[in-house]
Structure 1
Amino acid sequence: MSKILIVGLGNIGTEYAHTRHNIGFDVVNSFALKHSGMFKTDRLAEVAEVKWKGKTFICIKPTTYMNLSGKAFKYWMDKEKILLEHTLTIVDEIALPLTKMRIRPSGSAAGHNGLRDIEQTLGTDKYPRLRFGIGNHFPKGMQVEYVLGKWLKEELPIVNKKTEVAVEAIESFAAIGIERTMNMYNNMEIA
């Protein structure tokens, strides 16, 4: 695994910045920043190249909007000749509490439009992803507003801590593979 594609899911535009649905962008920003990567606008995405421990990371934040994330994912995977199992997609997950994240080698889109589009574009659900729990504390019928809403002030310390942990999980994925990374992070409680 010498070249790795890190895909942060989110929506472009200031109105979506730092919302729950854009946590994929925020985690990829933190990873790139930690390793002195600079994003530039390129085809279908904001792109940063990062080198760490002999590995090259192509970090992308699709500029296609969430529902068309697969287009940018496939373009950069093909362009950089990266194997599907050497990709990691960072995504928000309402089925997980804020204190949890889950890394999986594959799985269903679970109603997430970004994952659904990647799956349809690739023709498979067998690609690694890191699901960042955002909780589901919203009244019935208010899911869209919740997901597209900003973090509450009291949630921010956990979000910031978990973003750091997610960056470490990306490094772990690259260094020791998905199985050992899952064992290290999937049962972790971040409070």
Structure 2
Amino acid sequence: MAIKLIVGLGNPGKDYQAHRHNVGFWFCDALAYSYTGTFKKESKFFGEVAQVNIAGVNVWLLKPNTYMNGSGQSIQSIAKFYQIDANEILIAHDELDIDPGTARIKFSGGHGGHNGLRDTIKALGSNDFYRLRVGIGHPGDKSQVADFVLHTPNKSEIEAIQNTLADSLNVIKQVVKGDVESAMKTLHTT
């Protein structure tokens, strides 16, 4: 099964672009740059959309403008319009339970307290989509999470996250073509 839609979760606007919560946007921006795609605002999809060709597959890139907690509306609208099934979607998002410098690919599962995933599962009526979980680390105390994700990582964390995004870009062709097992094997051992 090929991936037809790659979504980066984040919050729109300059005030948020450097925050940990926006690593999904960072990944989509890197993909657009690598595959010469240009994002355009699409009001009917409640976000910015680009189309790229990865390994011979036409793939939509989406950065929702609905803010994290409303991500599902944007994802559901483009998926419905282009008749893309949940299992043809890859969602890149920040992951508290993984340290900076590490990314994991996962299929299906819960939302783990991530509001963007929670809203997406609700809007799609399914949790059977792929996730690129980009590690941002955990502040150590649950009460500090909201503040933590809405701040810029420190210099060493940014470097680690950027290296992880580069590693993730290196396996995206395999993921898009449906060879997720080998992509996971490569990514999870770097």
Q: Same fold (TM over 0.5)?
A: yes
What is the aligned length? 188
CA contact (8 A) 2:49 2:60 kept: yes
* Pairing of 1:1-191 with structure 2 (within 5 A): 1=1, 4-42=4-42, 43=44, 44-138=46-140, 141-188=143-190
Distance 1:3 1:94, change over 3 A: closer
Shift of 1:78: 1.5
Letter in 2 for 1:41: K
Q: What TM-score do you get using the length of structure 2 for normalisation?
A: 0.92
Gaps in structure 2 of 5+ consecutive residues: none
CA contact (8 A) 1:3 1:58 kept: no
CA contact (8 A) 1:40 1:47 kept: yes
* CA RMSD, Structure 1 to Structure 2 (Å): 1.6
**Identical columns (%):** 34
Letter in 2 for 1:23: V
CA distance in structure 2 between the aligned counterparts of 1:3 and 1:182, rounded to whole angstroms: 15
Q: What TM-score do you get using the length of structure 1 for normalisation?
A: 0.92
Shift of 1:140: 5.6
Letter in 2 for 1:66: M
Shift of 1:129: 0.6
CA distance in structure 2 between the aligned counterparts of 1:138 and 1:110, rounded to whole angstroms: 16
Gaps in structure 1 of 5+ consecutive residues: none
Name the SS of the counterpart of 1:98 in structure 2.
coil
CA distance in structure 2 between the aligned counterparts of 1:32 and 1:17, rounded to whole angstroms: 16
Name the SS of the counterpart of 1:117 in structure 2.
helix
CA contact (8 A) 1:105 1:178 kept: no
1:29-78 superposed Cα distances (whole Å, 9 cap, x missing partner) = 00011111000000211000101332101000001111111111111112
Q: Which structure 1 residue ranges, 4+ long, deviate > 4 Å from structure 2?
A: none
Shift of 1:170: 2.4
Distance 1:15 1:138, change over 3 A: farther
